[in-house]
Structure 1
Amino acid sequence: LLSSGYDNHTSGYDNHTSGYDNHTSGYDNHTSGYDNHTSGYDNHTSGYDNHTSGYDNHTSGYDNHTSGYDNHTSGYDNHTSGYDNHTYQCHCGCNRCI
């Protein structure tokens, strides 16, 4: 069920300068254990992210990052002005069944 509406993308550019992200070979070692997020709030200018008490369980293991580069060439992502049009889609609603 998609309600009608628009996502408005204004014209502009995302500028990616040329360069490299250098990932050296090696390992990120995640030992078994827990990340303990206590109940609380991150207050972002009027609003809250509520992290309830709990755990993120990271099992023992490795993330292997081989030597290399991510090459970001100079350029632009061009977002032209326009809309994404989400039309109504109803199932046995909106006066008819589809």
Structure 2
Amino acid sequence: MLRRLLENVRNLRITNSLVDLGFTIDGRFGGCINSSTKIWDIAPSLLMFEEAGGMITDMNGSKIDFSLDANIMKKEFPILGASRKLHPKLLNLVLR
């Protein structure tokens, strides 16, 4: 997956998920991918991201499932976030 991304993106930056989502919301990044976020990394920013016109899904393009269970704090959430226009293109690169 990383090789496909490197061949198809202008720049790749690796930071933490909250910074990546914030920079994507304000337009500094076209999109962000994080393979292992925690609920506290993405739950607060999900609403802001979507209100700003962005879209966050899991790596299969499905809505993120925040169902509460005994292991929710240990669960890893792989995410893909981008504008509604760019999201399908980025998802296609991930799924190839």
TM-score normalised by structure 2 residue count: 0.18
* Larger RCO (CA within 8 A; separation ≥ 6): 1
Give 1 or 2: higher helix fraction: 2
Larger radius of gyration: 1
TM-score, length of structure 1 as denominator length: 0.18
More strand by share: 1
